[in-house]
Chains A and B, each alone.
Chain A
Amino acid sequence: ETGVTQTPRHLVMGMTNKKSLKCEQHLGHNAMYWYKQSAKKPLELMFVYSLEERVENNSVPSRFSPECPNSSHLFLHLHTLQPEDSALYLCASSQDGTVNYGYTFGSGTRLTVV
């Protein structure tokens, strides 16, 4: 399997639930990212992992908790979310430290918080 795979594709959760989003890349990249895309808003960078170390946390509420156990896997743990957290969550991977390398994105998880 190649590319970046995100699961699940769709998720509906209540505000008291705990769920996790999973992202897996088979491209040998050393950096992974979480972005949030709300309706009619630009992509918001949430977290950056480089060589499995978190290097950026863009003032994201603590109800979002990332985990990067190895360079191929990235998780986003969700708990006590709010309705305004409903969005498309995109995972991407890349080679870190070089400007001429873009991202490969997963297909995204459409999250609805009810």
Chain B
Amino acid sequence: AQKITQTQPGMFVQEKEAVTLDCTYDTSDQSYGLFWYKQPSSGEMIFLIYQGSYDEQNATEGRYSLNFQKARKSANLVISASQLGDSAMYFCAMRGGNQAGTALIFGKGTTLSVSS
């Protein structure tokens, strides 16, 4: 069975500091994708970054980078230079297998609070 684990219910960081949000996963699929989403208090889910299981380089999107360690089955999100607008819930998700109907599974999320 596939599983995503986010062990940090809440994280606190000051503006301009970097922060790492942890994510570990479990799957027997050889091909899978890992995703991070941001959910502000408004409720919408915003896609941040993607990492494929065969990608050798860590993904980066602006201030977001994904620290992918395949052997350890971890896919941590690193936010550099935090901003007040980064305060939100962050979800790690995985999609495994290429068969029809394969859905994203999500972790429980981490609430990030950025202070000035």
Interface range on chain B (Cβ under 8 Å from partner): 20 to 34
Do A55 and B101 contact each other (CB < 8 Å), given the known contacts A42-B106, A100-B33, A107-B42?
A: yes
Residue B81 at the A interface, CB < 8 A?
A: no
Min CB distance B64 to A, Å, is 14
Contact of A96 among B31, B50, B102, B107 (CB under 8 A): B102
A45 and B102 contact, Cβ closer than 8 Å, known pairs A99-B96, A99-B97, A100-B52: no
A interface residue count range (under 10 / 10 to 19 / 20 to 34 / 35 or more): 20 to 34
Say yes or no for B11: interface residue by CB 8 A criterion.
no
Q: Closest chain A residue to B29 by CB distance?
A: A99
What residues on B are CB-neighbors of A103 within 8 Å? 35, 45, 47, 104
**Residue positions of B touching A, CB distance < 8 A:** 29, 31-33, 35, 37, 42-47, 50, 52-53, 91, 93, 95-109
